[in-house]
Chain A
Amino acid sequence: MRHTYLVIIFSLFTSSLLAQGDLLNLIEDSTPQKEYVTNAFKSTRVINGASMEHLGMGVLDFRISHRFGRLNGGKYQLWGLDQATIRLGLDYGITKRLMVGLGRSNSKKELDGFIKYRLLWQSRGKNAVPLSVILVTGMTVNGLKFDNPERKNYYTSRLTYYYQVILGRKFSERFTLQFTPTIVHRNFVDSVNFRHDIYALGSAARFKLNKRIAIVAEHFYVFPGSSIDKNYTNSFSIGFDIETGGHVFQLHFTNSLGMNERAFITDTDGKWDKGDIQFGFNISRVFTIVNKNRN
């Protein structure tokens, strides 16, 4: 009889133990799923240069980039606010990994276009990839009338090409770092002393302050020997990304007036220590053109 009690008590005990256990533990998969890292930057451009972010598939991004004049212009220029340089851009995400873009700058009446492809995508979990690798290639077309119309001018003289590899990693929810080795090839240069090929290394970082605001900074180092002339300086920009619903506002200070790769990598001559700094902003507005099919 005693034993029967024991059996009953014992079996009650074991069953209650099982019942109390975490039910989900019974089926939980211990190997974590592969998960792509997203939102390394708020926008597809850090400030001037391309970021490791892509547009979603079927998403159109209308970008208005605006730079005022130099802060050291003084009161007469209202510290730069009297001048305006702009670039209007349209970018489109063809797939999650492939996007294209077109832009027009008022400076040099320049048209630019690019293709951006994500070769490797940083991910966590199974078969994790530690960093993203993105390839960018683009072209700019100078739209100004030729300086010397009397001589034979070639259309190809208007063209500049650029090639970039973006190596980026989102280290944490807050911090992202990327490096961008770049080659810019100019078909036409102003003097025989200037090089056609410019080698540069871009670096950019983001630090998120909260869910909607981040500090971003960007620098392009041009390797000695390939510099254009004495006045040339490296491009450095720092600012804030502010996100509100479908818009991203990027407010910043920069010593580059240009907003395409040819312009800000090879044409920057502002010096930070002399106050040749422009205040500028980019506004990005995305539209979903192609909706995913509803289930």
Chain B
Amino acid sequence: MKKILLVAITLLGSIAVQAQSKYFTRDGKISFYSDASLEKIEANNSKVATVLDVSTGQFEFSVLMKAFDFEKALMQEHFNENYVESSKFPKSVFKGKIENIADIKFDKDGIYPIKVKGQLTLHGVTKDIATNGTLEIKNGIIKANSVFNILIEEYGIEIPKLVSEKVAKEVKVTVNVSLEPLAKS
């Protein structure tokens, strides 16, 4: 009986540890920037959902494509209708891992460089991504930052010749999220 109790307590304990090791946000920020010769296009999304498991370094991002906000209404329409086809592919997902998670002391405030590897699924196409970034830990909040480039052609997004001077082949993606501990539920 005692032993069963022990098993139960250990189990509960392990679950509790798991729960506390996760950090999340629902309003992370991702922006992208296309710098073509005739037009600069910038779009911001501030409804990015992210979960990070600090015990394993694994994390996931979910980005609602329709939540990207453009300077011009027509850019937004073309982005959703013609390029990323957001009715067909409403979300873009990044699943990855912080490779050097062991070097980060989550109980100590500071800025830590991170190496990230993972898979980005965009427009129904999944590609490997490797990039660097930083984690800033302050008062139990984790701020994650990263910048990387993607080739839109690789994700099956065609740019018609007519607008090739207006839409860059390579797009700079900036990630900026602030994660809070995920409460047990």
Tell whether, in the assembled complex, residue A39 and residue B71 are in contact, meaning their CB atoms are under 8 Å apart. no
- Determine if B81 and A39 form an interchain contact, defined as CB atoms under 8 angstroms apart: yes
Is B24 interfacial (CB 8 A cutoff)?
Answer: yes
B73 to A59, Cβ gap below 8 A? yes
Contact A24 B49 (CB under 8 A): yes
Is A57 an interface residue, CB under 8 A from the partner? yes
Interface range, A side: 35 or more
Query: Nearest Cβ distance between residue B3 and chain A, in whole angstroms?
Result: 5
- Tell which of A8-16, A44-52, A109-117 binds the partner: A8-16
* Residues of B close to A126: CB separation below 8 A: none
**Are B82 and A212 in contact, with the CB atoms below 8 A?**
yes
A3-B3, A6-B7 are known contacts. Are A15 and B14 too (CB-CB below 8 A)? yes
Chain B contacts for A245, CB-based, 8 A: 78, 160, 162-163, 166
Are A38's CB and B14's CB within 8 A? no
Q: A10-B7, A38-B77, A244-B162 are in contact. Are A173 and B18 (CB under 8 A)?
A: no
A59 partner, pick from B6, B59, B64, B74, beta carbons under 8 A: B74
- In the complex the two chains form, what is the Cα distance from A49 to B109 in whole Å? 63
Interchain Cβ contacts within 8 Å, total number: 103
B contacts with A: majority SS: mixed
Cα–Cα, bound, A11→B17 (Å): 11
Say yes or no: is A151 at the interface (Cβ < 8 Å to chain B). no
B69, A292: Cβ atoms closer than 8 Å: yes
B42-85 interface (Cβ within 8 A of A): 42, 44, 46, 49, 51-53, 55-56, 58-60, 62, 64, 66, 69-74, 76-78, 80-82, 85
20 intermolecular pairs with C-beta atoms under 8 Å apart: A14-B14, A23-B22, A24-B51, A24-B60, A27-B26, A29-B26, A33-B64, A55-B73, A56-B74, A58-B73, A59-B74, A93-B73, A173-B88, A245-B166, A246-B74, A286-B74, A288-B71, A292-B71, A292-B72, A295-B46
Chain B residues in the interface with A (C-beta under 8 A): 3, 6-7, 10-11, 13-15, 17-18, 22, 24, 26, 42, 44, 46, 49, 51-53, 55-56, 58-60, 62, 64, 66, 69-74, 76-78, 80-82, 85, 87-88, 93, 160, 162-163, 166, 182
- Pairs of residues from A and B, 10 with the lowest C-beta to C-beta distance, nearest first: A56-B73, A23-B51, A11-B14, A288-B72, A23-B60, A18-B18, A3-B3, A24-B60, A245-B163, A27-B24
Point out residues on A near B: beta carbons under 8 Å: 3, 6-7, 10-11, 14-15, 18-19, 22-24, 26-29, 33, 35, 38-39, 55-59, 93, 173, 211-212, 243-246, 286, 288, 291-292, 294-295
